[in-house]
Structure 1
Amino acid sequence: MTPTFPEGTETAQINVAILVGSELIHRGLETVLRQLPMVNLTVNGEACDVLITTEALSGTRDKDVKTILLLDEAQVAAPAFTLSSEFDGYLIQEEITANHLRNAILRVVAGELAIPDRLARELLTRASGPAAGGDAPQRRPPVSLTARESVTLSLLADGLSNKQIARRLSISEHGAKRLVASVLLKLDSPNRTAAVVTAMRAHLIEYA
C-alpha cells in the first residue's frame, strides 16, 4: 500500500538528528539521509523535529520531537519485544533504504506510527498465537466498541492512514482522527499497532 501524507509534508524541510552509539551506523544513516531533499541534518544539539536513535529515552522526552527507534535483528526476534509509547516509529537496521527512512520520517511527522511491515506482521502473529509458555492469556475487561469504531479498528488492522480511513467511511479526516483516538483510548493502547495487537488478544478481530 502506498503511504499518503498531509499536503505539504513531503516538500517541507524536516530537521533530523541522529543519536546512536555506533559510529558506523551513524555514518551510514548520515549517508542515506543526505539523499533525502526534505531532510536537514542537525548537529551539536540543535533543535530537531525527528530523532533517530538506538537508545531508550528519558521519561521526560520532548513531546514535540518525533522519535524513531532503530532496531537490530536480535531485538526484532526477541519474544519479549513490545512497542513503547516512548517512540513514534521503528526501523530495522538491516533493512534501511532511503525510501524506508523517507516514509518513516514523513509518517511520524504526520502523527502516524511508522513501523516496518515485517515487524508489524511478527507482532500480530505473536498476538494471534498461544500465550508464551502455555500460560493462559491475561483477561482484560470487556471492550465495547460502536459499529463505526469496529469498522475503524478493522481498517487500522489493514494499515490504513487517517486520510484513507476518512475516505473509506466518507467522513472528514478530523472525524477519522477522532475515531482512531477513541479506539486507542478504549483499548488502552499508545499507538495503532498496539491497538490491533490488543484487539486480537481480546478476539475483537482475527489475523489471517
Structure 2
Amino acid sequence: MPALATAVLPRPPVPDGPPPAFGITVSIAHPGELIRVGLQALVGAFPEVARASSFPSWGALRDRPRGSGGELVLIAAELLDGDRQRAQQLRSCGVKVLICLADCEHRTVAAAVEFEPDGFVIERALDAVELRSAMRDVSAGRVHVPAAMTTGLLAEVRRPTKTGAMVGNLLTPREIQTLRLLSEGRSNKQIATRLGIGINGVKRHVGNVLAKLNCPNRTLAAAEAVRLNLI
C-alpha cells in the first residue's frame, strides 16, 4: 500500500460534505503492523480527530480504554473472524464501524456485508481522501460503499450466469423486507416504522441491500430487484 507507507500529509485534502464532529476518537485494528501504523499516522493527521490508536488483535481492541466522546473503529475484516457478535458488540456501545477489506472480490464483500457495518473501505485503494470521505459518511449516518466495491460487484451480478436466486441468497430476510419497502418508494423513517426498528438499523439494511445488489442508489436497486425477480 504505497499511500500508507509515504510521509503523512499535515492536512489531508478535504472531501465535499459536512465534516464529522470534532474530537472524534478513532481506533484502528489490523494484524499488519505496517498498515496499522500507517493508518494510525494518517488518521491522526486529520484535524477532526482528537486521538488515533491502533491495535493488533480483536482482544486488544475489545479491551481498549474507552473515552466519553464519539468513537469510530476501523477494523480489518479478518479480525472479526466471521463472528457477527463482534461487530454487534462494537455497535452496541454506540461505536461507528468501518470494515477494511483486503480486496473487493464478490466472496470477500458478501461475507463482510453480513456484519452490517456502517461502511467499508478497500485496503488496496485506500488513501487520505477516501479514508476521510468514509469517516465523514459514517459520522453523518450514511453507509459508505467505495466506488471500487460497487463497480466490481456490479460486474459480478451482471454476469450471464448470475441468477436472481443466487443474488437473493445473499440477502437476509430483513434485507428482503427492506428492499420491498424501498421499492415502494418509502423513506427510511417509513421503513423503520413498518419494520419496528431504529433509523440507524434501516440505514444499515439499505446500505447492505445496495452493496449486495451492486447499485449506487435506491432507484437502481429497485429496478435490479424487479429484473432479478427478487420482489
Scaled by the length of structure 1, what TM-score is found?
Answer: 0.64
Q: Structure 1's 131 and 178: CA in aligned 2 closer, same or farther, altered over 3 A? A: farther
How much has 1:183 moved relative to structure 2? 10
Q: Give the match for residue 73 of structure 2.
A: 51
More helix by share: 2
User: Is 1:120 aligned to residue 143 of structure 2?
Assistant: no
Measure, in 2, the Cα distance between the counterparts of 1:78 and 1:195: 14
Corresponding residue to 2:206 among 191, 198, 206: 191
How much has 1:85 moved relative to structure 2? 4.1
What letter matches 1:178 in structure 2? K
Measure, in 2, the Cα distance between the counterparts of 1:179 and 1:84: 23
Contact residue 92 and residue 116 of structure 1 kept, 8 A: yes
Measure, in 2, the Cα distance between the counterparts of 1:201 and 1:12: 39
Measure, in 1, the Cα distance between the counterparts of 2:226 and 2:119: 24
Corresponding residue to 1:129 among 135, 156, 159: 159
Measure, in 2, the Cα distance between the counterparts of 1:203 and 1:17: 41
Corresponding residue to 1:36 among 46, 50, 59: 46
Task: Kindly report which structure 2 residues correspond to 1:1-208, keeping only aligned pairs within 5 A, or say none.
Answer: 3-5=16-18, 9-10=19-20, 12-43=22-53, 44-47=64-67, 49-54=71-76, 55-56=79-80, 58-59=84-85, 60-63=88-91, 64-73=94-103, 76-79=104-107, 81-82=109-110, 83-132=113-162, 137=166, 143=180, 145-146=183-184, 149=185, 177-178=188-189, 190-192=205-207, 194-195=209-210, 197=213, 199=222, 200-203=224-227
How much has 1:20 moved relative to structure 2? 1.0
What is the CA deviation profile of residues 128-147 of structure 1, one whole-angstrom value per residue up to 9, with x for unaligned ones?
33344x7964597994643x
How much has 1:78 moved relative to structure 2? 4.2
What letter matches 1:21 in structure 2? P
Q: Structure 1's 193 and 30: CA in aligned 2 closer, same or farther, altered over 3 A? A: same
> Which 4+ runs in 1 deviate beyond 6 A?
139-142, 182-185
Report the secondary structure of 2:227's partner residue: coil
The CA RMSD over aligned residues, in Å, is: 3.7
For structure 1, the 5+ residue unaligned runs are 153-175
Measure, in 1, the Cα distance between the counterparts of 2:153 and 2:50: 32
Measure, in 1, the Cα distance between the counterparts of 2:227 and 2:129: 35
Aligned length: 170
Measure, in 1, the Cα distance between the counterparts of 2:210 and 2:148: 17
Contact residue 68 and residue 91 of structure 1 kept, 8 A: yes
What is the CA deviation profile of residues 123-177 of structure 1, one whole-angstrom value per residue up to 9, with x for unaligned ones?
2332333344x7964597994643xx1xx7xxxxxxxxxxxxxxxxxxxxxxx54
How much has 1:201 moved relative to structure 2? 3.9
**Range with greater deviation from structure 2 (24-33 or 91-100):** 91-100
What letter matches 2:48 in structure 1? M
